[in-house]
Amino acid sequence: MTDALLTALTNVAAPTVLLALMLGVVVGVIIGALPGLSATMGMAIFSPATFFLPPVEGISFLLALYKGGTFGGSLSAILIGTPGTASNAATVADGYAMTRAGQAGRALGLAVWGSVVGDGIGILALVLCAPLVAEFALQVGNAEKFAITVMSLTLVAYVSGASLMKGLFAASIGLALSLVGTDPIGGSPRLTFGIRELSAGIGVIPLAIGLFGLAEVLDQLARWRPGRMEPPTVEVPLLRDILHRLWQVKRTIARSSLIGATIGALPGIGSETSNWVAYALARRASKTPEAFGKGADEGVVAPEVACNATCGAALIPTLIFGIPGDIVTSILMGALIAQGLQPGPTLITDNTGLFYTLYAGLFVSMVMLAFVGLAAMRFASRIILIPRPLLFTAVAVLCVAGTYAINARLFDVGVMVLAGFAGWGMRALRIPVAPLVLAFVLGGILEDSFRRMLIQSRGSLSPLWDRPIALGVCLVTLAVIAFALKGTLTDRFRNRTAETSTE
């Protein structure tokens, strides 16, 4: 183990790896800070470029971009009241209130150091839990993997938005698309409609670039109106003042870190949920809940700590079980597979050196995030004012170039364009896009584990209740479904009661 650690430190100290980490953080912060862009879009657009890099440099760049993009969304959320990413939506209420009160520097300082603290907690959760979970995962069979995947799909649909039915609809489309291609066990083509290119299936990267990249471009340009924004004034606060404020809300930090790490470790949920949960619990636990929404320190710290803690923890199910922790890690899975690394319980044992190197790189990028975040405080007000037509034209070009670079096929570009217009339509209908991509990734895992379980049990479903772990996961899934249905039925009953009383 000592030799592996020394090798990892040597690898991370290489100039190319340090450059990849720094570029990842910087690019992530810029993308996250720009309203309309997100860490998900950045991962989708830039992941094809990493296929031509060595695994350490390529994966390190994407991990750093993931963390930088998660923090970067807080800059626009605080300065102009528009979250750069969904992970920072809860930060708007109190962060923007501070900006309107002339305290933008204070809000940004809390966001920077809250993000660094949450990031560190998430990395620790990954480092401490991943080896233990990997030992457990080696004992997991096809029945357990199928049960975990079903639970993940259930959670994806449940937390996907205000409408459970829309979340289920989007997940169903993703599952249907995952069936396109060649049968992995029988070897016969299915749902290809005679199109030869579809025999290899639909690539997750072109699909993700279209749904999150091109669709966002189309949506933003359709809603864009000419106008000029005045950059807010930012006075950078003293470090000791920010650290003093963080110490005063240490309980909120501890609670939010636990929330973020726990939600991140659950497959299929992610920071879009953890930031709201942390904000709600911070407000409930506060002695002055009436201060929330008016510039409370806890209202900025809680969501930022939680969403960044989710990043590291989300890698646990992704790397150990091959089940994405959130939408960003589903794209990361595609990059790992393109590098010849198959996510799963044997990933750590077969690539110990790479794993330790990524661990070290995560800690180095955490330090870089602190410095880049502090520098971004001075320039963020200028970054967010880049003209939208120029910005999204460049993004559209990157979408096409990144998609074509994967396999040098115009067919992939066509898939990306179709996915872009489909994603634009889904946004107009307020159908969540994330469940579609997550279900698409999980669909292959679901089918493979289910069919192999049936082959091993000679067509019987008995392993789902004969094996304790599988049975426990199934019971949790049923409880989630029952809870979701209860909430849906309750909402409908209240709406009908309200309509009746109005009449």
Q: What pLDDT, in 10s, does the model give residues 4-28?
A: 667 777 878 888 889 999 999 999 8
Give 208-252 pLDDT, tens digit per residue: 778 877 887 788 777 776 655 555 556 666 677 878 888 888 888
Contact 84, 72 (CB under 8 A): yes
Q: Is the predicted pLDDT of residue 431 greater than 80, yes or no?
A: yes
pLDDT category of residue 499 using cuts at 50, 70 and 90 = low
Rounded distance between C-alpha atoms, residue 75 and residue 81, angstroms: 9
Q: Which residue carries 């990524």 as its tokens?
A: 358
> Beta-carbon neighbour count of residue 163 at 10 Å?
14
pLDDT digits 0-9 by tens, 308-337: 888 888 888 888 777 776 777 878 888 888
Residue 405's identity, in one-letter code, is A
The 10s digit of each residue's pLDDT in 392-409 is 777 788 778 777 766 778
Q: What are the residue boundaries of the structural domains of the chain, listed by start?
A: 2-496
Q: Give how far the C-alpha of residue 186 lies from the chain's centroid of Cα atoms, to the nearest Å.
A: 33
| Cα 423 to Cα 185: distance, rounded to the nearest angstrom | 31
Q: What's the whole-number mean pLDDT along residues 418-445?
A: 83
DSSP assigned state of 120:
H
Cα–Cα distance, 388 to 484 (Å, whole number): 39
Tell me the C-alpha distance between 328 and 315, whole Å: 10
Radius of gyration of the chain (CA): 22
CB 49 within 8 A of CB 24: no
Share of the chain above pLDDT 90, in %: 2
Percent of the chain exceeding pLDDT 70 equals 83
> Which pLDDT belongs to residue 160?
55
| Closest CA relative to residue 25, chosen from 364, 390, 447, 415 | 364
The reported pLDDT for the residue numbered 268 is 60
pLDDT > 60? residue 342: yes
For residue 94, give the nearest of 380, 238, 298, 384 by alpha carbon. 298
